[in-house]
Structure 1
Amino acid sequence: MRPLLRPSAYFIWNSYGYKSRPQRIISQFLMLKRKLEVLGEDSIVQPPSQFRKMATQPVTTTIELTPKETQLKDLLLDAAKFIDESGETRDPVVLRWAGGWVRDKLLGIESHDIDTAINTMTGEAFVLKLRELCEQPDTIKKHAIAESDIGGLHKIAANPEKSKHLETATIRLLGYDVDFVNLRKETYAQDSRNPQMEFGTAEEDALRRDATVNALFYNLNTGKVEDFTTGLADMKSRLIRTPLEPFQTFMDDPLRVLRLVRFASRLEFTIDPAAEKVMGDPRVLDALRLKISRERVGVELEKMLKGKHPRKCLEYINHLGLYHTIFTDPSNEHMPTPNISTWKIAYDCLDSLRLNKTPGSIYDVLVRSDEAAYHAWILAAVCPWENVEDPKHSGKGKPPPPLVTQVVREGIKAPSKLCELTTAAHNNRAEIMSLVTAVSDKAPFITERDRFGMAIRQWNNKNCDWRLQVLYALLHEAIDTLGGESNGQVTKDEFLRKWQAFLDHLHEIDVMEAPSLKRLIDGTQLSKALGVKPGRWMNQALDVCVAWQLRHPEATDPAGAVEEVQSRRAELGIPKGTGK
């Protein structure tokens, strides 16, 4: 076989009009090399003129549309015809469904999110003409359009400084969320990493995407799938790889590192070793940490952990060396790094609990909603930070949140609810562990409902799910017990039996729902019974009443609770009153 890398290849690609850096030209040629290798050796030895033909003619296949998808396709094609007849564009409008919808359709996965690429105009301009067409009675009748079938137009602006290069128009159509954007190519100035987005061909658009399996198009005009890279072959091989050279692909948009992790885990595909090799490159990690907004990092992580294979995502993050780039505060130059050598134990343990869920099991008791499941994975992710000592507070002003909360708040821009949960899990872990140990050791006080019930109510303060805090304590202890110096002395089954016994005990003494326990007496009634005005003493006094109520679960009259508060007036700081 003749040498593949020959000078003419450079000029063939260059003559296509790619205004790119030399390394990008080489990347494009290497992509063509892969494509030719898939097609066979005979293709590789074609003369230069044949290279040009093969580079522009995509591999194709077909897709069978559902009736609803066909309805949407016909409507969009009529909109394209409407625009053509208006004379607003120089060339006929060609529409393509792109990326994820095509990939999922080929895999037999249902999708209601459709990206539509347009060859001659912006997405916003197309949607405005589409809406104009949909107001015409003939169109409404032809396509059976109901009033609720056409939603409002939303535009998402580009933000190149944060690697959000695309302006997108979104509209709800016939039950689908449809994004519209023009076909694009990227050109780079020598002094900038941010590309200038220009109208491009379908092939140029495919080359600038994150993965070959996401670079497929379904041409609405021809009814065929178009593959300008090696997407169809990679789908067959269950492989995630970049259309162009991986390092440049990731430097152009570092978020693609996380996107490839998400797609690989979601689809259960393998990441191309050539891409894996550079995903942990310090230059790529620096770009991911500093160039990409943490909100986008958080959104990508959330999509990972809400998918079907969250453990696989964390495994990739661990294996590829991404942990310290994701779970950190990038604004803090002196941010420490935790030891993650045994972190695997935490996410493996959580996944094992999830997969072995049965009525009354640890996961069944502690994780009770989809939101809780996502929060559980976040807590598993940040467990290593629990062993990093928080800086000492100077005593001036409000103390900063613990480091583990800073990581959640600044690293992935988690909402306040998740940040408060993380803080509570950190602050209450020691007390949770002490009660778990007490139950395991059969301490004399473990039958005291008020001790356990009041602790659970305190953990649940500000609606911070106490069950997830217990899970966090479990996962952290798993790291220390199953991966620390005591490794081998305690088996995983023995370890989990201790925690199952703790939860069973909480159920036996009936304190699981302590946070929602309805008080027998409220603050107004207690003030009246004591003959004093409400004051700072009130919260503590009401806690005394709830503790009494926990000790007397059959009581319906609060008189006994009031009597106990009366006996502790001095301790609680209650002023003298009428003494009713």
Structure 2
Amino acid sequence: MMQRAMHVPARRSVCTQLKLTNVEQNICNLLKDYSQEYNKMHSSTEPIVLRITGGWVRDKLLGFFSHDLDIAVNNMSGEQFAVGLSAYLSEHYEKYGITPHSIHKIDKNPEKSKHLETATTKLFGIEIDFVNLRSEEYTNESRIPVVAFGTPQQDALRRDATLNALFYNIQNDSIEDFTGSGLQDLQNGVLRTPLPPRQTFLDDPLRVLRLIRFASRLGFIIDTETYTAMGDPDINQAFQHKISRERVGVELHKILQGPDPMIGLKLIQQANLENVIFYWHSDPAVIEYNSQKTDMIAANDAYAQLGGHIHLVIQKLPTLMNALPQLQERCDNDPVFKQNFILCVILAPFRDIQVIWNPKKKMNNRASIVECIIKDGLKFGKNDSELVATCVDTHSTYDDMVVSYEQESRSKIGLMLRSFKGEWELAHYSNLALAYCQDDKSLSRYQSFHKYVFDEKLQDCHALKPLLDGKKLTALLNRKPGPWMKSINTEMIDWQLNNPNLGENELLAFINEILPKYT
């Protein structure tokens, strides 16, 4: 039976009246004035009612600063309203002191969760999105809905959580809670879907990750019925064919770089979603090719171990972070480091497993499955995927070095550190975390090695360059450039690492000694 997350949030004081900033008040006053004039001129039609929706309302009620202003229009498209507003501003420049900005129309892009056209403009220096109220209907095959104009209640009920379905009615300066429980859930720190959760998640499984992200960001719990539905096997399958990997990656990126990614990982693991979240590719043809041409036993075993491994990491990592305040500080101040550190640790079961990433290539067509998970499965950047894969796949080598560094040469240690291209501390702390998960005693030896690196001034050895550049080297040796220079450059770096206090003359003598091997 799936366990529920044990985190219990503090009860929050939530008021029903918003305190607007001066800029927000200016924006609302302008929108009220234009709506009033429009309604007078079109008295025979439904009057305009404007509502600020979603995240801005939630964040303002929680006391957070927010400039994410999405405004829903009840009786026309966002573009129609923005065009009329722009014309109104042109006529009333002196009253408001701002000129109309250009209106940028954002077309529908369902793969990026843009299900309706949006008009974007700038008012008093703030980007504003205008869109009409809408209803949505889904099919079993896609998370892309059929969208139509809707009522305020329909627009509220289609949202992922009740506390994200609150509206601020600009016309009468009031909070509207059409789900009936949004304000209470916000006060209690509870995330629940406005409609029955199973169907909500089957319609759009991305909502599962969004709720997990909000739980991680806000420290809220997920309502029991809602959280139980997240673990439904049908939801797990829906992830595979209804959500693009880009959308999965966007949500995971926000979770891992957020204030408490451990909450998010715990919810993912307890809902048995780790296998679909951290899947290794987005192209079914590549996946099928590997299933036929590549021995995938190791990869399948790694996926079988992944949930248990993440559970262990979640248990052990907080203790390690408490013992290493410098690691906690680094994660707090560097969200990208924190993201990659967590990925390095949780993807350890995939160490040294390779797949064919491009069946069309005959040579050099294999890649680390860790790199594929991050680059092709999550659509993160190439640099991050390569770095994390390097850290994961060299764990055994790094751990052996930590155990035996006192018996190793300075150059061997330096060359290993250089392989991480300036990110050796990511490798160090992630490998420490992995070792710590298995043996608490590993902390002291990793700390000793970390001190050794700084004592030996090796922390920046990735930036070490040969004392003699190519032009100077060829002049001193009276030789023409050639293939021999690459080997000599490698030898120079190795020599400099072993002889940090010697200079060019000693280096040149060393080169003259070894040069016959390469010419």
Give the TM bin, normalised by the shorter chain: 0.7 to 0.9
Following superposition, the deviation at residue 296 of structure 1 comes to 0.9
Deviations 1:132-165 (A, max 9, x none): 33344x33x33343x7xx7654443324467642
- Alignment CA distance shift 1:377-1:178 (3 Å): farther
More off after superposition, 421-430 vs 323-332? 421-430
Equivalents in 1 of 2:479, 2:309: separation in Å? Answer: 57
Distance 1:192 1:514, change over 3 A: closer
Quote the Cα distance in structure 2 between the aligned partners of 1:191 and 1:506.
55
- Match for 2:25 among 52, 62, 70? 70
Matches within 5 A, 1:490-505: 490=439, 492=440, 494-505=441-452
The one-letter code of the counterpart of 1:569 is L
1:269-295 deviation digits (Å, cap 9, x = unpaired):
111111111112122122122211111
> 473, 481, 489: which is aligned to 1:534?
481
Partner residue of 1:173? 123
The 5 Å alignment of 1:29-178 reads 61-81=16-36, 83-84=38-39, 87=42, 90-136=45-91, 138-139=92-93, 141-145=94-98, 152-160=102-110, 164-178=114-128
78-87 vs 470-479, greater mean Cα deviation: 78-87
Following superposition, the deviation at residue 478 of structure 1 comes to 3.5
Matched position secondary structure for 1:62: coil
1:255 aligned to which of 206, 211, 235: 206
**CA-CA distance at 1:384 after TM superposition:** 2.9
TM-score after normalising by structure 2 = 0.85
Q: 2:366 aligns with which of 386, 396, 400?
A: 400
Q: Is the 8 A contact 1:239 1:270 kept in 2?
A: yes
Structure 1 residue 521: Cα displacement: 1.8
Distance 2:263 2:333 in 1: 22
Match of 2:354 in 1: 390
Aligned CA distance change for structure 1 residues 349 and 511 (closer, same or farther; 3 Å): farther
Query: Superposition RMSD on alpha carbons, in Å?
Result: 2.9
User: Is the counterpart of residue 215 in structure 1 residue 165 in structure 2?
Assistant: yes
Aligned to 1:200: 150
- Structure-1 separation of matches of 2:381 and 2:269: 24
- Among the aligned pairs, what percent are the same residue? 36
In structure 2, C-alpha distance between the alignment counterparts of 1:188 and 1:389, rounded to whole Å: 39
1:317-364 alpha-carbon deviations (Å, 9 max, x no partner): 111111001001353254622402132333454444445554xx4556
Q: Map 1:479-498 onto structure 2 (within 5 A).
A: 479=437, 481=438, 490=439, 492=440, 494-498=441-445
Give the 3 Å change call, closer, same or farther, for CA 62–503 of structure 1 in structure 2. Answer: same
Report if the CA contact (8 A) 1:289-1:325 is conserved.
Answer: yes
For residues 511 and 37 of structure 2, the distance between their equivalents in structure 1, rounded to whole angstroms, comes to 79
Shift of 1:72: 1.6
Matching residue's letter, 1:514: C
Deviation readout 1:514-540 (Å, 9 max, x if unpaired): 112354221222222222232333233
The whole-number CA distance in structure 2 between the counterparts of 1:104 and 1:508 is 47
**What is the identity, as a one-letter code, of the residue corresponding to 1:266?**
R
Q: Distance in 1 between matches of 2:85 and 2:250?
A: 30
1:193 to 1:289, Cα distance in 2 relative to 1, 3 A: closer
Change (3 A) 1:321 1:496: same
Q: Is the 8 A contact 1:167 1:181 kept in 2?
A: yes
SS in 1 for 2:419: helix
Equivalent residues in 2 for 1:300-379, closer than 5 Å: 300-329=251-280, 330=282, 331=284, 332-333=287-288, 334=291, 336=300, 337-340=303-306, 341-355=308-322, 357-358=324-325, 361-362=326-327, 369-379=334-344
Change (3 A) 1:415 1:154: farther
* Cα distance change of structure 1 residues 366 and 112 upon mapping to structure 2, 3 Å threshold: closer
Residue 416 of structure 2 is matched in structure 1 by: 455
Q: So what's the TM-score if we normalise by structure 1?
A: 0.77
Q: 1:434 aligns with which of 400, 403, 426?
A: 400
1:224 counterpart residue number: 174
- In the aligned structure 2, how far is the partner of 1:410 from the partner of 1:68? 42
* Cα distance between partner residues in 1 of 2:398 and 2:136: 54
1:168, 1:179 within 8 Å by CA — same for their partners in 2?
yes
* Change in CA separation of 1:161 and 1:559 when aligned onto 2, cut-off 3 Å: closer
The amino acid of 1:210's aligned partner reads D
**Alpha-carbon distance between aligned partners in 2 of 1:357 and 1:68, rounded to the nearest angstrom:** 43
Larger Rg over CA atoms = 1
Q: Is the 8 A contact 2:133 2:155 kept in 1?
A: yes
The aligned residue for residue 294 of structure 2 is none
What SS does structure 2 have at the residue aligned with 1:344?
helix
Structure 1 residues 554 and 88 mapped into 2: Cα distance closer, same or farther (>3 Å)?
A: farther
Number of equivalences:
486
Please say if residues 266 and 307 of structure 1, whose CA atoms lie closer than 8 Å, have aligned partners that are also in contact: yes
Q: Distance in 1 between matches of 2:266 and 2:259?
A: 14
Partner AA of 1:390 in structure 2: Q
**Residues 432 and 442, structure 2, Cα contact 8 Å, conserved in 1:** no
**Structure 2 spans left out of the alignment, 5+ residues:** 1-14, 292-298
**Matched residue SS, 1:499:** helix
Indicate the residue corresponding to 2:188 in structure 1. Answer: 237
CA pair 182-404 structure 1, distance change in 2 beyond 3 A: same
Q: CA distance change for structure 1 residues 155 and 496 in 2, over 3 Å: closer, same or farther?
A: farther
